[in-house]
Amino acid sequence: MSSQLIHINPVSQISQSLVLSGNIIAFNLLNMLMGKGTHEYIEDERNRDILININGKLTPREQAVVSVFDSGFILGDGVWEGLRLHAGVVVFLKDHLKRLYQGAKSLDLDIGLTPAQLTERLMATLKANRMHDGVHIRLMVTRGIKITPYQDPRCTIPGSTIVIIAEYKEPSPRKIEGGIKLFTTHVRRGYPDVQDQKMNSHSKINCIQGCIQASKAGADEALMLDPHGFVSTCNSTHFFIVTQGEVWTSTGDYCLGGITRSKIIQLCEENNIPIKQKNFSLFDVYGADEAFVTGTFAGITPVNEVDGRLIGDGQQRNMIRRLQDLYIDLIKQEAAHE
């Protein structure tokens, strides 16, 4: 049976093993790798003892496994969401569930639970882990177990696989305060008839290819263009620039319908901040006064540099700070109303 299982190993346990074995070089390398990208986080010892929910069963992290015949492992056939727990509330949960179920419907994937039932399972996971704040949640749904490794959905045993991983994860202040570097990858966002970018599927090779290129160039994340050469998004976050008091972001035609992205657009509209969803090029990016990325994990993260060009003077962040404050207030309001 063990040959048919994939273990979900905690990074903290790997770190501890490396130290105990005296392999300091490997330990330092691991920590260096953890320090890359926009999702750099503060390691928390409590994550060693978390319970992971697999199809309704709570399992210790070290024992959490899924079958190697799972559709998600074999083909990346599934949908997922990243969520945040603030003050006991999973913020913007309805928005995330709407996107999850819409993606599943697009894939003709039966989740097998209603949104209310899935919410109940999610909250039970958080309660079992005694979690209240500063938690990042990965909610994953795959088509289920295959009878043999083949892509046809008809080769799947009925019943989806639902995994909920909740971890204590706070964004690194080094990134939030210090900012990040982007590199424009040659990997483009695709047309909807190739693979619809609005779907938050497990198949992320397009984004991973861009991420690899950016990483090798010494950047934190990849800036990705659409098929026409206009700026679209990043490999795991959404991209904005500030120019002459206006906030610009892409049309959204070739990127995921970001929840945080939509909230920032909403905040701009409600606070008389000029906001435009439009086509713009790298020429506009290099000449911008400010730039930032958005995402569920870290909220708003400043961008200091794109392709070796300093954004503005590298210090001006008036609009970024204002939007960060507005976004924090919005999260507090969301938590208070639930």
Question: pLDDT value at position 36?
Answer: 61
Q: Residue 164: which of 209, 104, 121, 110 has the closest Cα?
A: 121
Question: pLDDT value at position 315?
Answer: 82
Look at residue 192 and give its three-state secondary structure: helix
Mean of pLDDT values over 35-64 = 93
Query: Distance between CA atoms of 241 and 312, rounded to whole angstroms?
Result: 10
Question: pLDDT value at position 23?
Answer: 52
Q: Span 2-21+38-169: which CATH code?
A: 3.30.470.10
**Radius of gyration (Cα) for the chain, nearest Å?**
20
Strand (E) positions, the chain? 5-7, 41-42, 51-54, 57-60, 65-67, 78-86, 89-90, 135-142, 161-168, 170-171, 180-184, 221-225, 231-234, 238-243, 246-249, 275-277, 290-295, 299-306, 309-310
Residues contacting 64, CB < 8 A, separation 6+: 7, 8, 52, 54, 165
Strand partners, 168: 135
pLDDT digits (tens, 9 = 90+) for 141-157: 999 999 999 999 999 99
Residue type, 123: M
Query: Distance between CA atoms of 283 and 189, rounded to whole angstroms?
Result: 19
Residue 3 pLDDT greater than 50, yes or no: no
Question: pLDDT value at position 314?
Answer: 83
Phi-psi region of 272 (alpha: psi -120 to 50; beta: other; left: phi over 0): left
Cα atoms in the Cβ-side hemisphere of radius 13 Å centred on 22: 0
3-state helix/strand/coil string of 4-59: HEEECCCHHHHHHHHHHCCCHHHHHHHHHHHCCCCCCEECCHHHHHCEEEECCEEE
Q: Domain ranges in the chain?
A: 2-21+38-169, 174-337
| Sign of the four-CA dihedral 208, 214, 215, 217 | positive
What pTM did the predictor assign?
0.89
Query: Distance between CA atoms of 160 and 143, rounded to whole angstroms?
Result: 5
Percent of the chain with pLDDT over 90: 84
Are 64 and 153 in contact by the 8 Å Cβ rule? The answer is no
| DSSP string computed for 248-268 | EE--STTS---HHHHHHHHHH
Query: Distance between CA atoms of 320 and 316, rounded to whole angstroms?
Result: 9
Same fold, 2-21+38-169 and 174-337: no
pLDDT digits (tens, 9 = 90+) for 63-99: 999 999 999 999 999 999 999 999 999 999 999 999 9
Indicate the range of 46-50, 130-134, 334-338 predicted with least confidence.
Answer: 334-338
Residue 48 pLDDT greater than 80, yes or no: yes
**What's the topology of domain 174-337?**
D-amino Acid Aminotransferase; Chain A, domain 2 (3.20.10)
pLDDT digits (tens, 9 = 90+) for 24-37: 455 444 444 445 68
pLDDT band at 18 (very low <50, low <70, confident <90, very high): very low
Q: Is 164 exposed, middle or buried (0-12, 13-18, 19+ CB in 10 A)?
A: buried
Mean residue pLDDT across the chain: 91
Phi-psi region of 198 (alpha: psi -120 to 50; beta: other; left: phi over 0): alpha
Are 223 and 183 in contact by the 8 Å Cβ rule? The answer is yes
Question: pLDDT value at position 7?
Answer: 41
